[in-house]
A and B are shown apart, each in its own frame.
Chain A
Amino acid sequence: MADDHAEAREEDHEVGPEPPDDEVASAIVERFPGTIFADSHGQPVVYVDRAAWLEVATYLRDEQQFTQCLDVTAVDLIVASSRPEPDEVVTERFEVVANYLSHPRNRRIRVITEVPAEDPTVASLSNLYPGLNVAEREVFDMFGIEFTDHPDLTRILMPDDWIGYPLRKDDAPGRVPVTFKGDPGPR
């Protein structure tokens, strides 16, 4: 019996990480070293290096027929008691998430990159997918993550003179008393 167990363990070791069963994900994993694939409840997800963020988007658009990038958003994982990504990913404070959709191939893929707190910048995809203009502005507004080469990186939902980034976990709701410009305050 003991031998059987030893064999089983050895086999596990030999198999190593599973190859992605999604063709686009495996193409990305092959082309961009350091990419980690995860199957998230049946949806293909790839964790890419921050430096490859723009290249992956270009590759998906030009060579894999991903006609739309539907959404870019971010997550501040500073207080997460348990993180959603696979163990191999080198984790940072922020995650920037992009959801791609290919109409001709009728498939989706999610690309996630880790963004450190001390340098919250990532390449902008607005020049590839102009629709992401507002999405990246929203992420900048809510998380303070800067998108390099974005044509108009300004606050979008909060007032221009707002201080702080509301969706960061250390930006507590109720910390700022609600005031309006020119409000004389309580009399």
Chain B
Amino acid sequence: MSDQTKDSVDELVEVVDEDPLERDEIEDDPEERRLEAQTDEGAQQLRPMDPRTRELVLTSGQWPEVEEIDDTMILNMGPQHPSTHGVLRIMMELDGEIVLRAKPVIGYLHTGMEKTGEELTYVQGSTNVTRMDYASPLSNELVFSMAVERLLDVELPERATWIRMLLVELNRMSSHLLFQATNGMDLGAVSMMIYGWRERELTLRLLEDITGLRMNHNFIRPGGVAADLPDGWQDDVLELCRAVERGVAEYDRLLTENPIWRERTVGVGVIDTQEALALGASGPILRSTGFAWDLRRAQPYLAYDDVDFDVIYTENGDVFDRYQIRLYEILESIKIVRQCVERMPGGDYRVQDRKITPPPRARIDESMEALIHHFKLFTEGFRVPPGETYVAIESPRGEIGCYLVSDGTAKPYRLHIRGPSFYNLQSLTPMMEDRLIADAVAVISSVDPIMGEVDR
């Protein structure tokens, strides 16, 4: 070390030594001395200190009179957050750990599907709508196909109706199993996620056997379904029903009476019937408030007035109730699926109108007319008479509606899907208000939003 640097270091030390000039002043002041704490390293001054706290110390624990100060905090949750089920973003105003206000912000998954729908023919349309609510794609296809069929005034063969009902109920099972899995994961029951996923995978495998795809099936199309059920489907379906029943019994045993689970869910995220109705909520959220409204029962479509099932509803409107409703709805769906297996009528799986559905593959080789029909259908599509209609069905998340306007061409003039999640998301606000932020994740999970359908 050179002398020069040594000098400069000494200078520095001296500067530090000079510092206690202020300390002497403090030691002289008895009030200031009280603000010193003896530690192993000598006296430590308790600074910097909030002036109010300082006053508290000085007045020996008597809170001084202070005016209310605004110390709420705006916290942004998402859109990149594992518990927001995709790209939901929530702005929360917090007072400590309490959520004062919550506002969902959406649009991060907007891909203009309604605009795309105007550019695709009715034949292609179901490939588009099936991607909206990607956890229950068959409900989307069904509501779109039913809207088109109403404008066409087409009556479906009985077997097509029952196949649709079978598929939609299988899809309801897979959607609710997905909910059980993610709901468990969000609340820290990670083993539940694995179990839920296991049974859901079985359901998707069966749907793959029937439709050819695990998701985004494009199987329910205007005029019926794309193909008949494969050979031996009854055994596969019944086997799946047994497996899922076993699974549901397991979840029930794992969670329903579990004190940790109940602690996290009972009385959390409460909403009452009036709020739910006002906010346009439907499905399990509305049913959890003691309002037994299920479109399958109230305004039956397909063959739901022919089958026996119960509408599950509970009274408390909390996270636990929504979990229970979805759990037991799986069992009701199994009930309907079993009846479909027993009573599946024979006949055609689609309308045999060559202007709407394509001819069988084998006919194309031998019939010129069939070839022309096939070609016209997949290039131009079919024309739908002018008109407008709104069709609503009960998806696993609530009322999904399709408002369809036709101007007489082969493409929808306007295709609007009323996504249940889009409206259900609004019920987050009353559910979260004045509750702990730790419950926010439980509440989001219990609404079970699918962002593909929210943003379309």
Contacts and interface: CB of A to CB of B under 8 A. Distances in A.
Contacts of B212: none
Nearest to B424: A131
Interface stretch (B48-56, B107-115, B371-379): B107-115
Interface stretch (B156-164, B165-173, B405-413): B405-413
B112 A130 contact: no
A75 to B, nearest CB: 5
Contacts of A133: 426
A163 interface: no
A134 B405 CA distance: 22
Given A40-B388, A69-B280, A106-B299, A134 B401 contact: no
B389 A75 contact: no
B106 A157 contact: yes
A71 B401 contact: yes
Contacts of A166: 112, 115
A167 B114 contact: yes
Contact of A131 (B106, B279, B291, B298): B279
B386 A82 contact: yes
Contact of B389 (A40, A70, A130, A132): A40
Given A43-B390, A80-B407, A167 B115 contact: yes
Interface string B359-401: 0000000000000000000000000001111101000000101
B328 interface: no
B392 A131 contact: no
A108 B401 CA distance: 12
Contacts of A135: 280, 422-423
Contacts of A70: 280, 282, 392, 399, 401, 418, 423
Nearest to B389: A41
B281 A131 contact: yes
A179 interface: no
Given A67-B277, A84-B388, A84-B405, A106 B413 contact: no
A130 B387 CA distance: 29
Interface in A94-135: 97, 99, 103, 106, 108, 110, 129-135
Nearest to B386: A82
B293 interface: yes
Interface residues of A, number: 42
Nearest to B112: A166
> Interface majority SS on B: helix, strand, loop or mixed?
mixed
A83 B386 contact: yes
Contacts of B291: 103
A106 B295 CA distance: 10
Interface string A80-91: 111111000000
Contacts of B392: 70, 108
Nearest to B280: A131
A41 B278 contact: no
Contacts of B116: 173
Given A99-B390, A166-B112, A84 B406 contact: yes
B418 A97 contact: no
Contacts of B456: 157
B426 to A, nearest CB: 6
Interface of B: 106-107, 110, 112, 114-116, 119, 150-151, 153, 277-282, 291, 293, 298-299, 386-390, 392, 399, 401, 403, 405-409, 413-414, 416, 418, 422-423, 425-426, 455-456
21 contacts: A68-B280, A68-B282, A70-B399, A70-B401, A70-B418, A71-B401, A73-B416, A80-B407, A82-B407, A84-B387, A103-B277, A103-B291, A108-B390, A110-B390, A130-B278, A132-B280, A133-B426, A135-B422, A142-B114, A157-B107, A167-B114
Given A77-B413, A108-B390, A130-B279, 19 more contacts: A40-B388, A41-B389, A68-B280, A70-B392, A70-B418, A70-B423, A80-B407, A84-B388, A85-B388, A99-B403, A103-B277, A108-B392, A130-B278, A131-B280, A131-B423, A134-B423, A157-B110, A157-B455, A167-B114
